[in-house]
Amino acid sequence: MNVIITGATGMVGKGVLLECLDHPSVDNILVIGRNHIDVEHPKLKELIHRDFTNFSGIKEQLTNYDACFFCMGISSAGMKEDEYKHITYDYTLSLAKTLVLNNPAMTFNYVSGGGTDSTEKGKVMWARVKGKTENDLLNLGFNQAFMFRPNAIIPLRGIKSKTKLYQFMYDYFMWMIKLMKVISPNSVVNTTQLGIAMINTALKGYKKSIIDPVDIIELSK
């Protein structure tokens, strides 16, 4: 299986990348990003692309792929809706539209978030934007598309978050996340589970297009 990964410099994307590197069913990995990653591997190819609103210049390099794991994302804290939508929605759909033309049989996995608003009408800005992104991805025409909605995520394998606030929380309040895992086992996932779950949706499919934490845990087994 040949896969594309975005957001591989971030916590979730790095976790997915490491699982893909280790998985025997993943043959080749193309990481698309605006910055270099600190990983080298025979399976891995890196493509630096600065403009995520336009992939026309590299579309020939985006053929013959079986899956895309879109893990790129930002926090909405302090952002206006149009700015957040430009990065969250426009960047995602720009790549997805290019890929669906080149690889219609592809599985497209998008990392969204718990609380995403599928109605696109709620009061929470980020949830509306994520909801529209999910809905439009599901209607693009991919052979399979799955919207991953993790809540709390425990980083494993030495992975750290690029977002300073998130990493601060992990450094000082990980005990709270682990306690939440004890109290509600199906509410918290780790980066390894997330990566394996993504791979398994591409290999085996799944009964639902919206993937909640309990589904991530089931898919990672």
Q: What is the pTM of this model?
A: 0.91
Q: What per-residue confidence (pLDDT) applies to 46?
A: 97
Please state at what angle helix 91-102 crosses helix 125-138, rounded to 10 degrees: 10
Residue 170 has pLDDT above 90, yes or no: no
pLDDT tens digits along 190-209: 999 999 999 999 999 999 99
Q: Is residue 162 very low, low, confident or very high in pLDDT (cuts 50, 70, 90)?
A: low
Could you tell me how far CA 81 lies from the centroid of its own chain? 21
Q: What per-residue confidence (pLDDT) applies to 180?
A: 61
Q: Is residue 115 very low, low, confident or very high in pLDDT (cuts 50, 70, 90)?
A: very high
Sign of CA dihedral 108, 96, 38, 13: negative
Check if the beta carbon of residue 92 is closer than 8 Å to that of residue 137: yes
pLDDT tens digits along 180-192: 666 666 778 999 9
Residue 163 has pLDDT above 80, yes or no: no
Ordered domains of the chain (ranges, CATH): 2-219 (3.40.50.720)
Q: What is the CA radius of gyration of the chain?
A: 16
Contacts of 62 (CB under 8 A, 6+ apart): 4, 30, 55, 98, 99, 102, 103
Could you tell me which residue, 177 or 11, shows the higher pLDDT?
Answer: 11
Check if the beta carbon of residue 117 is closer than 8 Å to that of residue 127: yes
Residue 164 has pLDDT above 90, yes or no: no
Q: What per-residue confidence (pLDDT) applies to 157?
A: 80
pLDDT tens digits along 58-105: 999 999 999 999 999 998 988 999 999 999 999 999 999 999 999 999
Q: What per-residue confidence (pLDDT) applies to 38?
A: 87
Contacts of 200 (CB under 8 A, 6+ apart): 206, 219, 220
Mean pLDDT of 102-129: 97
Lowest mean pLDDT among 75-84, 100-109, 149-158, 169-178: 169-178
DSSP codes joined into one string, 38-76: S---TTEEEEE-S-TT--GGGGGGG-S-SEEEE------
Parallel, antiparallel, or unpaired: how do β-strands 152-154 and 210-211 relate?
unpaired
Residue 151 burial (10 A CB sphere; 0-12, 13-18, 19+): middle
Residue 104 burial (10 A CB sphere; 0-12, 13-18, 19+): exposed
